[in-house]
């Protein structure tokens, strides 16, 4: 799902009609923006004249410094700040200043909603921050939250599309939303125009280049030699309830590996602790497999971060709860307080990958193997870390 490889592969076919002499300006926004911009340069080379990147703090890749005409803005996620408004304004300026003889290319990935915005008249940054904070705390589904974001934004709901005023452009999306709809990814920043104002016909060519199903299939391919089941629907909704459903499916399945993809939500208390939705899902699952020695459960964000933490998620087993208790913490209290990270850190179960260069949503993987089966699999597949 690497944003660099996916962008290069898709862009190569899209630019064929423009000819070898065409020049390009690229704007990349989201958690995968650096990787996607590098992929564009891999294909365009010297034809890439200008590049604007809006990235999440800590997600910069050093190699982007060498891109031609590069401008990089770090911004805030998941809750926007003043930098988000500056990035939104600069993004609009970048689009409106594009010379008529260049081809606009937009690279959009999850996180764009918070990273760049321009407020509609009458709204303030405080309004925007409150909307994001309350939406995240309430466990609101992403589609509903994005609809409310569009109501106070000039950029969401096709705002950048409108600025193009009918000019042909290319838009590539790494999708982290249900339905993989460009009108929803990044709150529709490069989707069809939803505003009532009349604008010229939309001439943007849009392509989804990576989605959670691709990641799920890749997990299945890595489980060579094991009976694998891959869900044909995406999970959604409350993380505590999902933990019950997914561990139940793992327990009852004839498969040794179960793979799910989607996005859970966690309803936060008034004073939440520290953790993300994947860590919460993993800790909730750990309660349900406690004492079982042949089950493991992994929940991770494919972008390498989980909520406000720098961890991707967690890998739990039948002894996780025991390790948490031995460290003097209470699993139930940690879940009630949305404070999963300290418990999982005490158990040694946090998964740290760093930024991955993609963002296609969340993965959950269940593994059901006895010790003998795990040792036999490790003996046949000696590359990578052994199954624990």
User: Is the previous residue joined to 78 through a cis bond, with omega within 30 degrees of 0?
Assistant: yes
CATH of 213-380, one of 1.10.1330.10, 3.30.565.10, 3.40.1480.10, 3.50.30.10: 3.40.1480.10
List, in sequence order, the alpha helices (H) in the chain. Answer: 3-14, 33-44, 82-96, 112-115, 125-138, 142-151, 159-164, 212-222, 239-252, 277-288, 320-326, 331-336, 340-347, 371-380
pLDDT value of position 140: 67
Percent of the chain's residues with pLDDT above 90: 79
pLDDT value of position 214: 97
Q: Are 156 and 187 in contact (CB under 8 A)?
A: yes
Q: How far apart are CA 386 and CA 388, in angstroms?
A: 6
Confidence check: pLDDT of 137 > 80: no
Same fold, 3-210 and 213-380: no
Which pLDDT tens digit goes with each residue over 158-214? 999 999 999 999 999 999 998 999 999 999 999 999 765 557 889 999 999 999 999
Which pLDDT tens digit goes with each residue over 233-281? 999 999 999 999 999 999 999 999 999 999 999 999 999 999 999 999 9
**CATH code linked to domain 3-210:** 3.40.50.10180
Q: Where are the domains of the chain?
A: 3-210, 213-380
Mean pLDDT rounded to a whole number for the chain? 92
Which pLDDT tens digit goes with each residue over 26-65? 999 999 999 999 999 999 999 999 999 999 998 999 999 9
Question: Whole-structure pTM over 0.75, yes or no?
Answer: yes
């Amino acid at each position: 799902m690497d944003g660099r490889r996916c962008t290069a592969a898709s862009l190569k076919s899209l630019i064929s009609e423009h000819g070898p002499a065409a020049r390009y300006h690229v704007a990349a926004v989201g958690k995968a923006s650096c990787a996607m911009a590098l992929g564009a340069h891999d294909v365009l080379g010297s034809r890439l004249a200008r590049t604007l990147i809006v990235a999440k703090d800590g997600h910069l890749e050093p190699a982007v410094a060498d891109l031609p005409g590069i401008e990089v803005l770090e911004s805030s996620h998941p809750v926007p700040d003043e930098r988000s408004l500056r990035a939104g304004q600069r993004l609009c300026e970048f689009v409106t200043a594009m010379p008529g003889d260049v081809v606009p290319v937009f690279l959009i990935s999850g996180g764009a909603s918070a990273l760049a915005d321009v407020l509609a008249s009458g709204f303030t940054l405080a309004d925007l921050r409150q909307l994001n904070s309350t939406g995240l705390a309430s466990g609101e589904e992403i589609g509903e939250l994005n609809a409310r974001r569009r109501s106070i934004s000039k950029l969401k709901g096709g705002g950048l599309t409108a600025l193009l005023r009918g000019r042909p452009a290319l838009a590539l999306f790494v999708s982290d939303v249900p339905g993989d709809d460009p009108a929803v990814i990044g709150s529709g920043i490069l989707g069809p125009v939803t505003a009532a104002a009349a604008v010229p016909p939309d001439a943007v060519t849009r392509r989804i280049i990576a989605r959670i199903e691709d990641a799920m299939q890749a997990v299945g391919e890595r489980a060579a030699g094991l009976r694998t089941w891959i869900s044909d629907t995406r999970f959604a909704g409350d993380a505590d309830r999902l933990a019950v459903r997914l561990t139940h499916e793992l327990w009852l399945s004839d498969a040794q590996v179960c793979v799910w993809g989607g996005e859970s939500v966690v309803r936060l208390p008034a004073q939440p602790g520290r953790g993300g939705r994947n860590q919460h899902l993993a800790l909730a699952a750990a309660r349900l497999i406690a004492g079982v020695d042949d089950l493991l459960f992994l929940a991770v964000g494919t972008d390498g971060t989980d909520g406000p933490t720098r961890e991707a998620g967690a890998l739990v087993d039948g002894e996780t709860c025991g390790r948490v208790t031995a460290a003097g913490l209470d699993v139930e209290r940690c879940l009630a307080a949305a404070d999963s990270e300290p418990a999982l850190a005490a158990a040694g179960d946090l998964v740290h990958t760093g930024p991955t260069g993609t963002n296609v949503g969340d993965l959950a993987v269940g593994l059901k193997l006895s010790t003998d089966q795990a040792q036999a699999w490790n003996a046949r597949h000696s590359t990578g870390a052994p199954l624990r």
